[in-house]
Structure 1
Amino acid sequence: MEEVNRRRFLKHATVATAGVSLAAGCLGDDEDDGAEAEAEDDFPTDNITIVIPFGEGGGTDDFARTVAGAADDHLDVSIQFENEPGAGGLNGTQDVVQAEPDGYTLVAFNPPSTPTSWLVQQPPYEIGDLEGVATVGRFPYIIYANTDYEIEDFGDLIDRYEDGEFSQIAGQGVGTMVDVVARTLRDDVGLPWEDYIAYDGGGEVTEAVMSDEVSVGIGTDSGALAGAEEGRLEPIACIPDGGSAVFPDLESIAEQGSAEEGDPIDTLAMLQPSYWAPPGTPSEHIDVIAEALEQATEDEGVQEWAEDTGNVVEYSGPDEASQLLADVLETVPDVVDLDEVREEAES
């Protein structure tokens, strides 16, 4: 209808000079619209920034820099990474929620981790408004210790806590997914730690354990790999049932007889690396980035990294990523007593 009215206007405007001027103005608008449309079609024309809302060296950081880092080969622009740790991933995530929805700023986090932190801490923004871009893999939390203690298995670890050899456990910030997992290990599985020592990111947790600043910690299997290869960190158990691709011989706590298969810990402790865009980002831009990420998961270098590290790399698209976030926000409150976590975090 708009185009028909414009033609009628141009036809009748030729009878007067003023009308000709107006028509010329309309034609100029058409040219501007065409230029804008062409620019939209050319997306991206500038570098894309992926905010990693944790410190360097953790599982989220490793996955993003390896997988998403390979996507720039398919975009003709560079992908840049910014680590913005704090509040269990919520500070960097907030920056992206509030960023310009133009497709040039994304955030990487791993449901159910950061969405659970959001449910616990209730910051003044809606994480559920983020637009899903892609999920690119999965990995579990594991529990590990400094190698000097020669812990045999999860049962031995429980005994040592009960004997008073250990009282602390290290993990990411209070109110984060790792905090929730640690509380579940204590309350439902029987690991009697007393003091939770919080760090900004998984890399800091592994460093603390390797240096024996804290003797036992919880983190991702991929984030623990370097420390294990150096011989300074010993994986004790995979927390969820199903095991670890990074440490294929590592038994789960259920397999070691300290939990039951299907316990809530299984829901909480398996992470899915994913990418998200600010609310309102055009779907056309999201699709371009998602396609590049899909191609990146198939790159030879990424596949070699997955094989060498044992990380599971697998792609699903924007709809699946959006559904994953919605599912986590709906189901975690049924699994976790969020009020209790808040109260304990505040005490």
Structure 2
Amino acid sequence: MFERQFRCTPPFALWIAFVVLLAAIAPTALAQSYPTKPIRMIIPFAPGGGNDVVGRMIAAQLSERLGKQVVADNRAGGAGVIGTEIAANSQPDGYTLLVISATYTVTPLLYKLPYDPVKSFVPVTMMAASPNLLAVHRSLPVKSVKELIALAKAKPGELTYATAGAGSNSHLSGALFSSLAHINIVPVAFRGGGSQMISVVAGETQMAIGPMVSMLPHATSGRLKILGIGSTKRSAVLPDVPTIAEAGVPGYESGNWWGIMAPAGTSSDIANKLYTEVSAILSSAESRKWFASQGAEPVNIAPDKFGKLIMAEMHKWQKVIKEFNIRVE
């Protein structure tokens, strides 16, 4: 009786088939019409740093390609945690994106986070990578990495280095430098790379290690002195600047990278569409020229490979943090 009552009649079976088909094509149709309104791109650091410079450049280009404004929204604080939490709690509809950097893979190892760095987001793409530079204020009486190390050893605990926040890439890069050079320099945390740069340029702190993309303009203007580069080989942009390793700290290497994430639940069709558009931006001659002038290199990585890179970076920094006993006070 029960089976006879609820057996699917042909019209009802057709209706179920229609619903299933609709569910299957809806995400694709949504991605094809996306976007229909402005997109917010959260940059979890203050204006002026590498995240901000790269994020705003991509946001401007995406606005042109998508036909809808992509608004850069700086939400600084907590080594990027505050802005990242805002993004994690946003609707997964493709209208909130998050700019991340290498710091994203470090904060989970040092902080108790209000989000899960793996489960709270889906990767969209990597945008660019840049080696770090070691820079000092122009008044500091040193002209090389060896002279800086000698000065730091003569004045243990007196020299300070600015960071983009406790646990940031610049913090760990400075801690690694301090450890390998066997010196005692004191980190001073700021709310992002922009504030970090302002501090060193003003002479409030004596030095900093940060991405070339944010340091180069200050070096070009003569306000900072570049002593070394964190890559394994010299840069074509600064051919006369030695690597930090060759300048007196063997084994030293540090750099930064930037990418885009979206809240977990964002459809793969939308993520792939964004990846395709960013890829087109990165492959243009104009973009490559811009990144080269900033000492960075565009890096085009698909969402799945970007996700694997993030996991690999977490593993790498976990080993560094443990080896050098790095903690956030």
The answer, yes or no, to whether TM exceeds 0.5 is yes
Pair 1:311-2:301 in alignment: no
State the aligned residue count.
320
User: Is the alpha carbon distance of 1:5 and 1:273 closer, same or farther for their aligned partners in structure 2, counting shifts above 3 Å?
Assistant: farther
Matched residue, 2:210:
219
SS of 2:139's partner is helix
- Give 5+ residue unaligned stretches, structure 1: 12-22
Separation of aligned partners in 1, 2:266 and 2:24: 20
1:55 aligns with 2:71: no
Aligned partner (choices 245, 259, 275) of residue 274 of structure 1 = 259
Number of the residue aligned with 1:15:
none
Structure 1's 304 and 122: CA in aligned 2 closer, same or farther, altered over 3 A? same
- Aligned partner of 1:118 in structure 2 is 108
2:279 to 294, 303, 311: 294
CA deviation vs aligned residue, 1:271-309 (integer Å, no higher than 9, x gap): 221111111210000011111100111234323312333
Corresponding residue for 1:14?
none
Name the counterpart of 1:78.
Answer: 69
The alpha-carbon distance between structure 1 residues 228 and 6, as it changes in their structure 2 partners (threshold 3 A), is farther
Q: Which has the larger radius of gyration?
A: 1
Q: Counterparts of 1:181 and 1:297 in 2: how far apart (Å)?
A: 27
The answer to whether the 8 Å contact 1:205/1:218 transfers is no
Indicate the residue corresponding to 1:285 in structure 2.
Answer: 270
How far residue 331 of structure 1 moved from its aligned partner, in angstroms, is: 3.1
1:177 correspondence with 2:169: yes
Give the alignment's TM-score, normalised by structure 2: 0.87
Following the alignment from structure 1 to structure 2, what is the Cα–Cα distance between the partners of residues 49 and 9? 43
Correspondences of 1:307-346 after superposition (within 5 Å): 307-337=292-322, 340-342=325-327, 345-346=328-329
Task: Check 1:6–1:188 CA distance in 2 against 1; reply closer, same or farther (3 A cut).
Answer: farther
CA distance in 1, matches of 2:310, 2:187: 27
**What's the C-alpha RMSD, in Å, of the aligned pairs?**
2.8
Distance 1:117 1:33 in 2: 38
Paired with 1:58 and 1:156, the residues of 2 have a C-alpha distance of 27
Once residues 318 and 34 of structure 1 are traced to their aligned partners in structure 2, the CA distance between those partners, rounded to angstroms, is 21
> Shift of the alpha carbon at 1:235?
1.0
Shift, 1:222, TM fit: 0.9
Q: Is the 8 A contact 2:131 2:296 kept in 1?
A: no
Do the aligned partners of residues 7 and 162 (structure 1) sit closer, same or farther apart at CA in structure 2, a change above 3 Å counting?
A: same
- Measured in 2, the distance between the counterparts of 1:92 and 1:316 equals 23
CA 1:181–1:72 in 2, change beyond 3 Å: closer, same or farther? same
Q: How does 1:1-347 map to 2 (within 5 A)?
A: 5=8, 7-9=10-12, 38-111=29-102, 113-129=103-119, 130-164=121-155, 166-193=158-185, 195-244=186-235, 246-260=237-251, 265-266=252-253, 269-337=254-322, 340-342=325-327, 345-346=328-329
Displacement of 1:246 after TM fit? 4.4
Greater mean alpha carbon deviation, residues 305-314 or residues 136-145:
305-314
Superposition deviation, residue 55 in structure 1: 0.7
Contact 1:133–1:317 (Cα < 8 Å) also in 2: yes
SS at match of 1:227: helix
